């Protein structure tokens, strides 16, 4: 969603049309020669960032972004449960 909102905010369609015009000197409404590689690059970049498929096996295992977020979520849930128990003075 963040990438989609960014593209809407910066008017990516118009930006790509301007880049195409600067490179070729001709106006085109849908410069697919730029849009297709850009779209593929976004997808491959997201897969590479969130996947350990491209990581080197000999490197030290580090948590990925999703693992960090899940750990923070679990910590927040645990803290919330503990706060409920403290506030009610009764065990669940």
Query: Could you list the pLDDT tens digit for every one of the 92 residues in the chain?
Result: 777 778 788 888 888 899 899 999 999 888 888 889 998 998 888 888 777 665 565 556 777 788 889 999 999 999 999 988 888 866 55
Asked if 50 and 66 sit in the same domain, the reply is no
Asked if 75 and 48 sit in the same domain, the reply is no
Asked if 89 and 69 sit in the same domain, the reply is yes
Domain that holds residue 48: 1-57
Asked if 48 and 84 sit in the same domain, the reply is no
Identify the residue whose tokens are 């976004």. 42
Counting the structural domains of the chain, the total is 2
pTM of the model: 0.51
Instruction: Return the pLDDT at 63.
Output: 79
Asked if 16 and 48 sit in the same domain, the reply is yes
Asked if 17 and 39 sit in the same domain, the reply is yes
Asked if 37 and 66 sit in the same domain, the reply is no
């Amino acid at each position: 969603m963040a990438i989609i909102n960014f593209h809407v905010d910066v008017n990516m369609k118009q930006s790509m049309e301007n880049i195409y015009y600067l490179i070729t000197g001709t106006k085109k409404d849908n410069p697919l020669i730029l849009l297709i590689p850009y779209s593929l690059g976004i997808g491959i970049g997201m897969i590479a960032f969130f996947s350990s498929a491209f990581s080197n096996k000999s490197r030290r295992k580090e948590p990925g972004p999703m693992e960090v977020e899940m750990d923070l979520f679990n910590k927040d849930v645990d803290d919330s449960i503990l706060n409920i128990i403290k506030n009610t003075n009764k065990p669940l």
